[in-house]
Structure 1
């Protein structure tokens, strides 16, 4: 089924992000909790809602690979190949994150970023012009919900805006692959 988002939904989501709020939104994988990845106060709200320690870094979404150099010092050549060849969404962990809220960056200075191909999210990111956090819509330690109707009321009421788009979508979705790229050219599969 082809889903069309409405501009009012997009506008409301954008306003919440710009105001430092939290959103609950569909991605190219599973539903996520999101915020402005450059706003430390907003990022702390995500950790509080998920009841998750902030020592664990968060994944970010951008709408195009052209945004990557704004947030990581060097994009290894193999990253371009991985993004192009991957048949499913792939999140890549890069060394030397920059221009982001401190809490989205791992203790070793790395950050996980995925180029998102979901139409609503791409439109949102194009207008927002900054990366957004994307973490599963669940309390830390609980199973990640596969569909909107599996998301707990605690999460739904804990965000500032719930995106209307694709709430009735029951297409089976899965988390992204996660690959860590080291500065020395090492490639490590974290999650297939």
Structure 2
């Protein structure tokens, strides 16, 4: 796969995201449905496509610590240790998010964010300059697809662009999810 092709795919994905569209893309865990995490209408489209209640919050990806800090009021110090020391992708639920679509924020004013470890995701998000929603590419309640070929045709037809990279890749498992409260509490939600 040459760099030009990767660049083309990133440009097409960004164009779709900027226009409020949905993409299917390879993440550092499983194939994801993504959209601009700051666009309320785009986030609503993800919930509709997944046939999922918007009371079940979605994860979003950021490219680096600086982007994380722009969207969380106060990042607990322990979060940096968890991110740096994790041996597999780790999503952290933070208190008091800011600058994202209101329908992305959970009822308890928290947001699940992962600093992407995958080079493609980092590059895509850096170039887009905003967080991107990342939720498994399936209808709510169906099994998470382990590879691109297992994604439900209705999901593929329901997005505006499918990234044409790494479609042969066998997915790893979903990320670990840890809830960090500003009062110092740490709770493992998914291992």
Q: Which range, TM-score by smaller chain?
A: over 0.9
> 1:15 maps to which residue?
15
Q: TM-score, normalised by structure 2?
A: 0.97
Q: Encode CA deviations 1:20-68: one digit per residue, 9 max, x unaligned.
A: 0000000000000000000000000000000001111110000101111
Residue 168 of structure 1 aligns to a residue whose secondary structure is: coil
Deviations 1:74-128, CA, capped at 9 Å, x for gaps: 0001000000000000000000011110111000100000000212111111111
Superposition map of 1:48-59 within 5 A: 48-59=48-59
- Structure-2 residue corresponding to 1:188: 187
8 Å CA contact 1:29, 1:89 repeated in 2: yes
| CA displacement, residues 132-155 of structure 1 (integer Å, 9 cap, x when unaligned) | 000000000111101000101001
Name 1:120's counterpart in structure 2. 120
- 4+ residue runs over 2 A deviation: 2-5
Q: Could you tell me how far apart the structure 1 residues matched to 2:2 and 2:116 are?
A: 16
Matched, 1:84 2:59: no
Which consecutive residues of structure 1, in runs of 5 or more, have no partner in the other structure?
Answer: none
CA contact (8 A) 1:76 1:183 kept: yes
Q: Is the 1:3–1:166 Cα contact (8 Å) retained in structure 2?
A: no
Name the structure 2 match of 1:147: 147
| Residues 1:93 and 2:93 aligned together | yes
Whole-Å separation in 2 of the counterparts to 1:138 and 1:45: 14
SS of corresponding position for 1:94: strand
Once the 2 structures are TM-superposed, how far is the Cα of residue 3 of structure 1 from its aligned partner? 8.9
Counterpart position of 2:25: 25
Tell me the distance in 1 between the aligned counterparts of 2:104 and 2:24: 18
The question of whether the paired residues in 2 share the 8 Å contact of 1:25 and 1:32 is answered with yes
Aligned CA-pair RMSD: 1.3
The residue that corresponds to 2:107 in the other structure is 107
Structure 2 residue aligned with 1:133: 133
TM-score by length of 1: 0.96
